[in-house]
Amino acid sequence: MPKIKGTKAVLEVLKEQGVKVIFGIPGGVMIPLYDALYDEPALKHVLMRHEQAAAMAAEGYARRSGTVGVCFATSGPGATNLVTGLANAMMDSIPIVAVTGQVRTTAIGRDSFQEADVTGITIPVTKNNRLVKRPEDLIPTLREAFYVARTGRPGPCLVDMPMDVSTAEVEWIAPGGNGDYDLEGYAPPSDGDPELIEQAAKLIALSRRPILYLGGGVVSAGASPEARALARKCNLYVVNTLIGKGAYPETDPQSLGMPGMHGTTYASYGIQHSDLIIAIGARFDDRVTGDLSTFAPEAKIIHIDIDPAEIGKNRAADVGIVGDAKRVLAALVEIVPERARGEWEDHLDEYRAEHPLWIPACEGVYPQYVIDQIFQLTNGDAVVTTEVGQHQMWAAQLYRAKEPRQFLSSGGLGAMGYGFPAAIGAQMASPEAVVFDIAGDGSIQMNIQELATAVYEKLPVKVAILNNGYLGMVRQWQELLFDRRYSGVELSGNPDFAAVAKAYGAEGRTITTRDEVRPALEWSLGITDRPVFLDFHTVAEECVFPMIPAGKSFRDIMEKHPASKGGD
């Protein structure tokens, strides 16, 4: 077998795995790898301005493209800056591979310059990580990382590569299937147990008040067609998690949207009063269930998940099926009897009509109106990313996703600063798509430096900043639950975001009246060669409703402000 440099081997494995784009920042120990990258036209490198953003852009690329995202970082601070992005990918089951540089093997453990125990630090936030100590282990370790990242329950993997390993000569090993990996004990399930699938079909046939509950696992498995077929064959009304948006079209009459803390009242009502919850690729997260002891007390549970640890973790399952959602659903759809629409579905339609989401028609720039206008002008076809906070929940409520991989948000970790780099990754994955980052004035400043990246790459990402002068979600809780004792939430030093955008070479506009909202959005849609910041100065103390306070139950839901102020 021919011998090649370790750096060349890394790039060959990336190409072999179908990688086209890498997000990263070089550093001292990564110079040999970047030197090899200089001569590799098949791999596009996107120079980010912060490593956290590199990981999040890789996530946005992975989620939009359905492939494994890749990021590079140097040793020490470069690698540790990836941690938040890795933790986010771990919580939301996003397949990425991070390649980090490390000091020479002879310098490890000596507190060398820019040395950090990266594998030790990232054990809790990666599905798998490896420090490559021998050149001959480099190729199989990289292949293993890609295989583990994309199979089973997807997640982030990290390969830590000492500089002397990357510069050593290694024997090129042609790919040979899963025999390349030494993965004792790692055997992701695929087909579910046929007897359990039959039991699930019987439960659905007997149910009078069923709800189909779809999570991000449906999207990861590519199981949206099968989930839609089940819903239509059995006339099931559907709720989805934040990460599961688009698994079933939210524009369809059978969709109730997102339940839980800031979900629609009718989605929360439907799941709470069901007699059967068919949960697929969902975790029964606390933001959905609230107080578990009072959650859906009359419901039996069918739980389908690739990860056996999730079955029964938060809510006991009457039928727990471990397997790939696409395969399990295909088998279930084939044998489940057709179910006619009944009184339950009519009742849910009536309840939905009585408890609609509120889009203010009054004067002032209301965030709900801005998001509704984005939805209307894009016909619901845009790729939407979000930061984290009030704007995220309004976007989840009002931007109704039609397709999987269309709505990208930080769910489990709730990481502020996620939306803008994720939008960069999504735009790189779908150059022709309209991509909107719906942001808050607090969150956008977490990774605002990536304007430089977006401008250099000529990415027409639209950033709609709902600027209320506060860390809005914390302020809302302080208003409603802490007697308006606003502590540490006033963003009185906000910059002129439109001017900041222009300083980077992007476009920007400030919007202060309702009449300016639609023209500004239309203007942004006409810009195709650079990012746009739209700074919407919104009503300062608007709150997100409905709201179920943390740890409470559906009976504690607040559909409007208790003081009914300001049109709430």
Q: What is the tens place of the pLDDT at every residue in 408-438?
A: 999 999 999 999 999 999 999 999 999 999 9
Mean pLDDT of 218-230: 98
pLDDT greater than 90 at residue 60: yes
Q: What backbone phi and psi angles, to 5 degrees, belong to 234?
A: -110, 10
Q: How confident is the model at residue 70 (pLDDT cuts 50, 70, 90)?
A: very high
| pLDDT on residue 162 | 98
Domain 3-171: which topology? Answer: Rossmann fold (3.40.50)
pLDDT greater than 90 at residue 494: yes
Angstrom distance (rounded) from CA 240 to CA 249? 10
**CB count in 10 Å sphere of residue 266:** 24
pLDDT greater than 70 at residue 568: no
Mean pLDDT of 78-87: 98
| pLDDT on residue 567 | 44
pLDDT greater than 60 at residue 175: yes
**Dihedral, CA atoms, 133, 136, 137, 143, nearest 10 degrees?**
140
| pLDDT on residue 194 | 97
| pLDDT on residue 275 | 98
pLDDT greater than 60 at residue 179: no
Render pLDDT for 436-450 as a digit per residue (tens, 0 to 9).
999 999 999 999 999
Which pair of tokens denotes residue 342?
Answer: 């009944």
Angstrom distance (rounded) from CA 508 to CA 397? 26
Parallel/antiparallel/unpaired status of strands 532-537 and 383-386: unpaired
| pLDDT on residue 560 | 84
Mean pLDDT of 299-322: 97
The end-to-end CA distance of the chain, in Å, is 71
Q: How confident is the model at residue 177 (pLDDT cuts 50, 70, 90)?
A: low
Q: Does the fold of domain 367-544 match that of domain 194-354?
A: yes
* Whether 215 contacts 240, CB under 8 Å: yes
Render pLDDT for 358-396 as a digit per residue (tens, 0 to 9).
899 989 999 999 999 999 999 999 999 999 999 999 999
pLDDT greater than 60 at residue 565: no
**CB count in 10 Å sphere of residue 107:** 17
Mean pLDDT of 93-115: 96
| pLDDT on residue 562 | 76
| pLDDT on residue 323 | 97
| pLDDT on residue 566 | 44
368 contacts: CB under 8 Å, gap ≥ 6: 357, 358, 359, 360, 394, 397, 398
CATH class, 194-354 region: alpha beta
* HEC letters along 133-198: CCHHHHHHHHHHHHHHHHCCCCCEEEEEEEHHHHHCEEECCCCECECCCCCCCCCCCCCCCHHHHH
Which candidate, 311, 299, 305, places its Cα nearest to that of 328?
305
Mean pLDDT of 280-285: 96
Q: What is the DSSP string of 336-400?
A: SPP----HHHHHHHHHHHHSPPP---SSS--HHHHHHHHHHHHTT-SEEEE-SSHHHHHHHHHS-
Average pLDDT, the chain: 96
Q: How confident is the model at residue 558 (pLDDT cuts 50, 70, 90)?
A: very high
* Whether 271 contacts 277, CB under 8 Å: yes
Render pLDDT for 181-211 as a digit per residue (tens, 0 to 9).
778 888 898 899 999 999 999 999 999 999 9
Mean pLDDT of 556-565: 79
Render pLDDT for 509-541 as a digit per residue (tens, 0 to 9).
999 999 999 999 999 999 999 999 999 999 999
Angstrom distance (rounded) from CA 568 to CA 566? 5
Domains of the chain: which residue ranges?
3-171, 194-354, 367-544
> What CATH architecture does domain 367-544 belong to?
3-Layer(aba) Sandwich (3.40)
* Whether 327 contacts 192, CB under 8 Å: yes
